[in-house]
A and B are shown apart, each in its own frame.
Chain A
Amino acid sequence: MTASLLSAILDRLLPGNSEGWPAAGKLGLAPSVGAFMSRTPEGAAWLEVVLSGTAPDFLELTPARQTRDLKRLEAAEPEAFERLVVAAYNMYYTHPEVRGVIERLTGYEARPPQPLGYEMEPFDEALLVRQKQRAPFWRRTGGEA
């Protein structure tokens, strides 16, 4: 029950669309989001606040009514809800399938920053032509070179 409820909430936070973005719940993120929040006792308590704060018939509601219910909960329990959103975004945007979508749509490589990094060209000093024409304008106090 808890996993299916959290999964349904995640589907409303990060719904799929026709561009290929998967829905977070259908991606199977409920366990990892729960684990992320439960790293600390406070986090586990916040998760419980969200799960117990949804409408009793949340799973039976239409997507639009589920969204309205979550907006109500966000207003009532902003700190707990924010923690859930942070956990969801962390797990969603590090998932390989989502990184694959980002790579396809933006060209951002689905790999960690290291060890490859990115090409680094030399600094182009021609960019400074105007600034180099400027006279020094720092305040002198005496004794400087």
Chain B
Amino acid sequence: MTGGPETADVVIVGAGASGAAAAWALSGHGLKIVCLEQGDWVDQSSSPSLDSSWEIALQTVFHPNPNIRAGTRDYPVTDDATPIKPALFNAVGGSTIRWGAHFPRLHPSDFRVRTLDGVAGDWPVTYPELEPYFDINDRMMGVAGLAGDPANPPRADRPTGPLPLCPATRRIAAAFDSLGWHWWPSDAAIVSVSYGDGRKACNNCGPCGLGCPRRSRASTDITYWPVAIRGGVDLRTRCVVTALKTTSSHQVGSVAYVDGDGHRCEISAGTVIVGCNGLGTSRLLLASASRRHRTGLANSSGQLGRNLMLHPTAIVTGVFAERLDSHRGPFATSLYSQQFYETDGANDFIRGYQLQALRGQGPVGTALGGYMHRLPWGETHHRQFMAEFGHSVSLTVTTEDLPEPVNRVELDRDRKDAWGLPVPKMTYRLGENTRRMLSHGTAKAREVMATAGASEIIVNPLARQAGFHFLGTARMGDDPETSVVNGDCVSHDIDNLMIVDGSVFPTSAAVNPTPTIQAVALRAADRLLHRLGISEGPRA
């Protein structure tokens, strides 16, 4: 037997939205690529949506908060110091297993925030540079939508046509029209007709966050991963990476991990790509501190873990006298408004927000309130239930969060997970600009609901269980003094270390980030191939 650790050309940490896209883009070129994923495969063919207790699953094994879900592959998060709680999923597919699949792109202006509005920083990449990767990603994920939105640049025809509105969302659309405000059918990572490898058209069932037995709703375990594995990528599940080990001040040499049987393993890597989201990536790099890198790996700027952005969101719910059957149809993907998306000098805040329609929920979700309010117990309970169930529709006010160093991810040195790693600790507070934006957006959403004829309007000023978007904690930039990675997602400090998840966002924009995360990851993989002398230009 020869000794020494196993060797790979590329080791990817995390098999979620970004890791899957990067793995696919790098596959098929003769590289030995190993992906280490903490979680396991999720069998979506036996989704809880097939069972009468499906709503209990949403409160337990599919709860978005790992502290509540407490699955065997989860790590806890110390969240006492943040009003917005963590929401993520550990599995092949990552949080795309648990998402609603709303699929908007950042705007061109989102990449030029400093230049246009004098705040935060510009991105070192532009919308036109990412556009071909957005298009590739749309085809790989399978998207329903309609080109022609006047709030966004022209884009290619969507791979499948838009998902329909329902009685509830038609009311909202009509209200936007009456007010003279923008709305458009959502781009959704859900296919409206049969698509690709055995994916059936959406059948309007509703709870996308439980996984999709028809495979209509995209998640990277059914989109990128089957192709990447056929292309030779070695995906290893239930492998918890515990540290990245360096061989010099500027090179990472190996990845240490605990496999599914509890064995401690190590694999040498020519390049390491980290895609564990803006929480897990900071945690891993901070936990990889050594004598060479005392404040964590890739942290000479001191920015690692800082500038956490979470898209603070208010929810405004309209209750209508008429029965709307609003539980029917994908929960999060019907229509959005970007009327108030761009900076407007007349406002008392800079940047902007998106309004996104949310349909109603099932009986348990209605009673518990979901993102809204819990119904009262006691004698009035059933009357209130009947007033709201199937009679409500909501608008989110999703705000652009500006980067602030005090908002951050650190290691909680007093707590360790099942594998001996320090638990990540979130510290976060709302900025004044965000508060003003939430207030403005809530008023506008109330106006929509009133125009739509709501008999009651209920406001949740800040959705707590909604920390789905961890952004900014390893931001990209041209200056190594103020950023962690460059525009190609390569660490300024460590030549062969890349970060490809939402950590690298210098600014958050005001839309769901996954399409942009994946476009950035695809481009970063392309740039790596170029540096390795393997290919140039985006893969068709």
Residue among A17, A132, A141 having the largest count of chain B Cβ atoms under 10 Å: A141
Residues of chain A contacted by B59 (CB below 8 angstroms): 86, 90
Interface size class of B (residues with CB under 8 A): 35 or more
**CA–CA, A131 and B204, complex, Å:** 25
A89 touches B107 (CB 8 A): no
B150 near A144 with CB under 8 A, answer no
Q: Which residues of B contact A121 (CB under 8 A)?
A: 164
- Taking a contact as CB atoms under 8 Å apart, the answer to whether B363 and A93 are in contact is yes
Q: Are B53 and A94 in contact (CB under 8 A)?
A: yes
Which one of B181-189, B289-297, B469-477 is at the interface?
Answer: B181-189
Contacts of B109 in A (CB 8 A): 138-139, 141
Contact B377 A13 (CB under 8 A): yes
Q: Which of A107, A120, A135 has a CB less than 8 Å from the CB of B150?
A: A135
The reply on B54 being an interface residue by CB < 8 A is yes
Please provide the chain A residues from 5 to 46 with a CB less than 8 Å away from any CB of chain B in the complex: 12-15, 17, 19, 21, 36, 39-40
On whether the beta carbons of A85 and B204 are closer than 8 Å, the reply is no
Cα A117 to Cα B205 in complex, Å, equals: 4
| Contact in complex: A13, B378 (CB < 8 Å) | yes
Quick check: A117 and B52 within 8 Å, CB to CB? no
List A89-141 residues whose CB lies under 8 Å from chain B: 89-90, 92-94, 96, 98-99, 102, 105-108, 110-125, 127-128, 130-132, 134-141
Across the interface, name the chain B residue whose C-beta is closest to A88. Answer: B377
Of all chain B residues, which has the CB nearest A91?
A: B56
Contacts of B390 in A (CB 8 A): 106, 108
User: Do A112 and B184 have beta carbons less than 8 Å apart?
Assistant: no
The residues in B between 360 and 381 inclusive whose CB is less than 8 angstroms from any CB of A are 362-364, 367-368, 374-375, 377-379, 381
| Range of interface residues on A (Cβ < 8 Å) | 35 or more
Whole-angstrom distance from the CB of A66 to the nearest CB of chain B? Answer: 10
Residues of A within 8 A of B51 (CB): 112
Residue of A nearest to B128 (CB): A143
Residues in A with CB closer than 8 Å to B192 are 120, 123
Alpha-carbon distance A121/B342, docked complex (angstroms): 33
For residue B389, give the distance in angstroms from its CB to the closest CB of chain A.
Answer: 6
What residues of chain B lie closer than 8 Å to A117, measured between beta carbons?
A: 202-205, 214
Report Cα–Cα, A93/B327, bound state, in Å: 15
**Cβ proximity bits B143-160 to A, threshold 8 Å, 1 near / 0 not:** 000101011111000000
> Which residue of A17, A127, A130 contacts B170 across the interface (Cβ within 8 Å)?
A127
Contact B55 A94, beta carbon cutoff 8 Å: yes
Q: Using known A-B contacts A114-B50, A123-B146, determine if residue A105 contacts B151 with beta carbons closer than 8 Å.
A: no
Binding site for A on B (CB under 8 A): 47, 49-56, 59-60, 70, 107-109, 111-112, 115-116, 126-128, 131, 146, 148, 150-154, 161-165, 170, 173, 177, 182-185, 192, 201-207, 213-214, 323, 325, 327-329, 342, 362-364, 367-368, 374-375, 377-379, 381-382, 386, 389-390
Q: A94-B364, A99-B363 are in contact. List 17 more A-B contacts (CB 8 A).
A: A21-B382, A40-B70, A85-B377, A89-B367, A89-B375, A93-B55, A94-B55, A108-B327, A114-B47, A117-B202, A119-B204, A123-B161, A130-B177, A137-B151, A141-B112, A141-B115, A145-B154
Interface of A with B (CB < 8 Å)? 12-15, 17, 19, 21, 36, 39-40, 67, 82, 85-86, 88-90, 92-94, 96, 98-99, 102, 105-108, 110-125, 127-128, 130-132, 134-141, 143-145
